[in-house]
Structure 1
Amino acid sequence: MYLRLGELPAVVVSSPDAAREVMKTHDVTFATRPLSTTLRATVAGGLGVAFSPYGERWRQLRKFITLELLSAKRVRSFRPIREDEAARFVGGIAAACPAGEPVNVTARVANLVADSALRAMIGERFGRREELLKCVAQAVKIGSGFNACDLFPSSRLVCAIDGTVRKARAFTRKTFELVDYAIEQHRERRSGASATDVAEDEDLLGVLLRTQEEGGFGCPLDVGDIKAILAELFLAGSESTSTTIIWAMAELMRNPSVMKRAQTELGCALQDKSTVTEDDLVNLPYIKLIIKETLRLHTPGPLLLPRECQESCEILGYDVLKGTIVLVNAWAICRDPKYWDEPEVFKPHRFEECTTDFMGTDFCYTPFGAGRRICPGLAFALANLELVLAVLLFHFDWQLPSGVIPSELDMEEEVGISVRRKRDLFLHPTLRVPL
C-alpha cells in the first residue's frame, strides 16, 4: 500500500510474500533507517545500533553487539541476576497477598524487568529506576514517527507549533543525564572491586568501556556512542519484554483453560521444588507456546522499525522509489487469516504441530524482524520472558477484580512505537507455592 504521510512517500508491506522481498530478497536495499525530525533530535548525542544508517560502521557495531555484548554466552552469564530478581519479585507479591487488595501487575513486572536489565548493564540496581521508566513511557509516545514535524519536515512553522522536537531534545537530555548517573554508579562500584571480580563478573557497561579502551572489533566507540547504546539497550529491552509479559497475563486471565494447562505443566515439571530456575525452562514447552502466541497476537512493535529504500527496486511487480519509507506491518501479517486459523483467538497450541518460529525465516511471523535488521537482543529478551511468566504462574493463582468476568477484561491498546495496554493490569494473587 502506497501512502503519502504528509511530505513523505511511504509503502506499507502487509503480506508475508512482500515482507520476504523487503527483509530477504532486497534486504540490503532496505537495510538503512530513515532519520525523522524527531529522531534526529533524540540521537544528537550519539547513535546506537537500532537507528544507525546502514554502512560499515553499522556492520561493525552490529557484529560487536551480536558476538560480544549480547552473545548467548553473555546472556547466560546473567542467569543469577534474573533468578535473584525473580525471587525478590515473588517475595514482594507474596507479602501483598494477605492484604486482599489487587496487585498492579503492570507496575511490578515493569520494575522487575527494569531491575534485571539494569543489573546486567551496570552490575547492580539503578538508584533512579523510576525516572528511567518514565523516560521509557515517553519514548514509546514520541518515537511513533507520526508527529506533525516528522510528516512535514520542511515546514519550520509546523515544527515550531508542534513542539515535538523540543520534547525530544528534553527527553534526550534527561535520558543521557540518567545514563551519566548509571556510568558513575558503575565506576564507583568497580573501584571497590578486585581485578578478579571485575573479570569474572563483567556487565554490559564494562564490556563497552573495555572495548572503547582496547579498540576491538574495528569499531571505535566514543562516550556518546556508549551512552546511546546503553540507553538503547534499556529502552528497547525493558519495554518490549515487560509489555509482552503483561499481554500474556491478560490473555491467560481471559482464557482460564490455557492458564490451568500451563500451571499443570509447571506442577509436573517442578514437583517438590519451591522455586523456578532457568534449568527448569527446558521442561516447560507450553510456557514457550504461550509466549509465541502472545508475540503473534500482540506484536510489541506492530510496524517493526521503519526502513528506507536506498535504491529504486521492484517488489511483487510494484516500483518502490529511492527514499521511500517502508513499514512492515507485522501486526497485520500475524493476524492474516490466509496463514493463521482463527487469527483473533488466543490459541498457544496452534504452535504445537507447527514449525513456524520467530527467528527471521518465517515471514508470516516476524515479531523481532528479519534479515540484517533482526533484533540483536532476542536472546536477552526471551530469557526474561520465559522465567518471569513461569514464576508468575508457579507461585500464584490469579483472579480478576470483583465484578470483572474474563470475556469483559479491558484489552484496549495505547498507540505508540510499541503497543502497550492502555490501562494497568490489576489482579488478585493467591500464593500457591511459597519460596
Structure 2
Amino acid sequence: MEFVIFALGLFLSYALIRVTLTVFGIGNPKNLPPGPTPLPIIGNLHLLGDQPHQSLDKLAKIYGPVMFLKLGSTTALVISSAAAAKEVLQKQDLAFSSRHIPDTLTAHNHSSYSVVWLPVATQWRTLRRILNTNIFTSHSLDTNQHLRSQKVQELVAYCHKASQSGDSVDIGRAAFRTTLNLLSNTIFSKDLTDPYEDSGKEFKELVGNIMVEGGKPNLVDFFPVLKKIDPQGTRKRMTHYFGRAFEMFETLIEERLGMNGSRHDDVLDVCLKISQENPDEFNRTHIKSIFLDLFVAGTDTTSNSLEWAMTELLRNPHIMTKAKKELEEIIGKQKIVEETDISSLPYLCCIVKETLRIHTPAPFLIPRKIETEVKLNGYIVPKGTQVIVNAWTIGRDSTLWDESLKFKPERFLNSSVDIWGRDFELIPFGAGRRICPGLSLAIRMLPVMLGSLINNFDWNLDGGLGHEELDMNEKFGITLQKANPLCIVPISIK
C-alpha cells in the first residue's frame, strides 16, 4: 500500500512539474510557438467549439498571431496576422506549400489527382500550368462570357416571376443554382440544373452533399489511427458522392466525344484537346478531378458571398442606394450587368471586396502542412504540423482596418489593396503559388450577379422585418454560410 501511495505521489509530482514547465515555456528544447495547455488525449479540441474561426480568433488575442495547438494526436499552427501570413504564404511559401489533406478527400484517390491537394511537384505544376494558360486566361473566359450572361438573365427572370406573385426568394439557394449553371456553361456549354424548378436536382444535391460532408468535423483527421475504421462513415459517404460525380462527368465526356468533332470552345474541349496531345501528363482522371475541384470550390463560395453581400446591403440601406445610383448612371436602370461593365463600376467592386473582407468565404483558406521542421518568427514548428491561416481574423483585424467590424465599402475607393494575393490584409483566395486558380472567374461572376439583382429590383425582407432585425449568425463549414437563409421579396422597379 505504501508503495502505491509513493508511486502515485511521484506521478502527481511529475505531472505537476510538466504542467508548470509547459505553462511557463520552460524546458522546451524545440521552442514551440505559444499556445494553450493541451489536455490528455484530446489536446485543445475542446477549445474549438462549433465556430472554430471565432474560437481561434479569441485564443490568438491571448497567445499571439503565431499559435501552436494540439488537436487530438495531431498538431496545428494557427496564423492570425497579415505579417505572419506573408511569412507563411510568400517569404517561406515553398516550405509551407504542401496540403493538409482531410481524410474525406482521399475518397476515390481524388487527392492524388487534384490540383488543390497535390504537393508542389511535377504533376501539380503540369496541372497548374494547364489551368493558368488554357482555362483561366482572359481570352478563354471572354470566349464563353455570353453563356454566363444568359444564366444571369435567367436569375433575373426567376426573380421577376417571384415579384409578380409576391413570393420571397431564397437568395442563397437561387445563387447556388445560378452559380452551378454559370460554371457548367463555362465547362460544358450546358445547364446542369433548372433555375425555375429543382430539375437537374441530382447534381445540385450531389455538390451540396459534398460540401456538407467535407465541412463536418471528422475524428480521423484528429486521430489518424482511426483511418481504417472510418468511425463516422464520412469517407464512405464521400466515396459514394465522388463516384456519382465522376460518373456524370464521364457521361458528359463521352457525349462530347460522340459529337463527331463539333467544337464548343469550352473548358471540356480544351481539356480533351490537351489530353489527346499529352495523354501521359493529363488523362481523363485528371480531367474529372479538375471538374470536381471547380464545382466544389466555385459554387458555395460564390453563392454564400452573394448572400452575405445582399444581407449587408439590406442591413445598410444607404449603401444599397449608393450602389443603385452608380448602376443607373453607368449602365442604366433595369439592365443586366455584363462582365465588360465591371471595371466601370468601382463602388460595386468595393462592395464585393468589403463582403470578401468581413465574410471571408473560406475562413481558414485551405489548410497546409509542413513536410520538414520549419523555423518561423524565431519558433520551431515540427514536421507534419497542419498550418491554418485564419483569414477571417485577418480581415477583421482592428490594427489593419478602421472600424473593422463595420461594413464600409468606401474604405476601398481610394485604396490600392486588392484580392490578388499581394496584400496580406485581404486574402480571401489565398496567396503565393497556391492561390486559388479560379480567382479570375470568381471575380467576374460575383459582381455581375450582385449588380444585376440590385439594378433590377428593390428588395423587402420576408415577413415585414426591418433591416435592423436581420440575422447575421454564421454557420461554419468548408465555407462560411449564413446560419439562416436570406429570404427576401423582389419588387420590380418601374
TM range (shorter): over 0.9
- Decide which of 227, 239, 243 is 1:169's aligned counterpart: 239
- Specify the SS of the correspondent of 2:464: coil
1:69 Cα deviation after fit:
1.5
| Alignment map for 1:353-372 (pairs within 5 Å) | 353-372=414-433
For the 8 Å contact 2:326–2:347, the answer to whether it is kept is yes
Residues 76 and 386, structure 2, Cα contact 8 Å, conserved in 1: yes
Are 1:150 and 2:234 an aligned pair?
Answer: no
CA deviation vs aligned residue, 1:184-243 (integer Å, no higher than 9, x gap)? 44445x44x74xxx1xx3111111111000118xx7112211111111111111221111
Structure 2 equivalent of residue 65 of structure 1 = 131
- Amino acid paired to 1:13: I
Task: Please point out which of 387, 393, 397 is paired with 1:326.
Answer: 387
**What per-residue deviation string (whole Å, max 9, x for no partner) do you get for residues 359-398 of structure 1?**
1111111000000000111111111111111100111111
**Selected match of 1:132 from 197, 203, 213:** 203
One-letter amino acid of the counterpart of residue 311, structure 1: T
CA distance in 2, matches of 1:274, 1:165: 46
Q: Contact between 1:123 and 1:186, CA under 8 Å: does it hold in 2?
A: no
Farther off after superposition, 126-135 or 321-330: 126-135
**Alignment deviations for residues 271-296 of structure 1 (CA, whole Å, 9 cap, x no partner):** 37744333322221110000000000
Q: Do the aligned residues in 1 keep the contact of 2:135 with 2:270 (CA within 8 Å)?
A: yes
> Which of 86, 107, 118 is 2:152 aligned to?
86
Which stretch has the larger CA shift, 332-341 or 97-106? 97-106
TM-score, normalisation: structure 2: 0.82
Q: Secondary structure at the match of 1:332?
A: helix
Q: Per the alignment, do residues 126 and 294 of structure 1 end up closer, same or farther by CA in structure 2, a change over 3 Å counting?
A: same
| Aligned match for 1:180, one of 233, 239, 250 | 250
Amino acid at match of 2:265: E
Deviation at 1:181, TM superposition (A): 3.2
Give the secondary structure class of the aligned counterpart of 1:271. Answer: coil
Q: Greater relative contact order (Cα 8 A, min sep 6): structure 1 or 2?
A: 1
Superposed displacement of residue 160, structure 1: 4.0
Report which stretch shifted further, 424-433 or 41-50: 41-50
Bigger drift between 175-184 and 100-109 goes to 175-184
Residues 33 and 54 in structure 1, CA contact (< 8 A), matched pair in contact too: no
TM-score for both structures, normalised by structure 1: 0.92
Gaps of 5+ in 1: none
Give me the whole-angstrom Cα distance separating, in 2, the residues matched to 1:56 and 1:160. Answer: 31
**Range 324-333 or range 138-147, more displaced:** 138-147
User: Are the structure 2 counterparts of residues 42 and 332 from structure 1 closer, same or farther at C-alpha, using a change threshold of 3 Å?
Assistant: farther
Superposition misfits of 4+ residues, deviation over 4 angstroms: none
One-letter code aligned to 2:208: A
Per the alignment, residue 272 of structure 2 pairs with 209
Check the 8 A contact 1:45/1:224 in 2, yes or no: no
274-283 or 32-41: which moved more? 274-283
Whose Rg is larger?
Answer: 2
Once the two structures are TM-superposed, the CA of residue 46 in structure 1 deviates from its matched residue by 5.8
Q: Determine the structure 1 residue equivalent to 2:294.
A: 233
2:441 to 373, 376, 380: 380
Match of 1:97 among 159, 163, 167: 163
Could you tell me which runs of 5 or more consecutive residues in structure 2 were left unpaired when the two chains were aligned.
1-66, 194-198
Q: Which residue of the partner structure matches residue 339 of structure 1? A: 400
Q: 1:300 maps to what in 2?
A: 361
Task: For residue 176 of structure 2, give the secondary structure of its aligned residue in structure 1.
Answer: helix
Task: Indicate the residue corresponding to 2:176 in structure 1.
Answer: 110
Query: C-alpha distance in 2, partners of 1:36/1:241?
Result: 22
Residues 310 and 322 in structure 1, CA contact (< 8 A), matched pair in contact too? yes
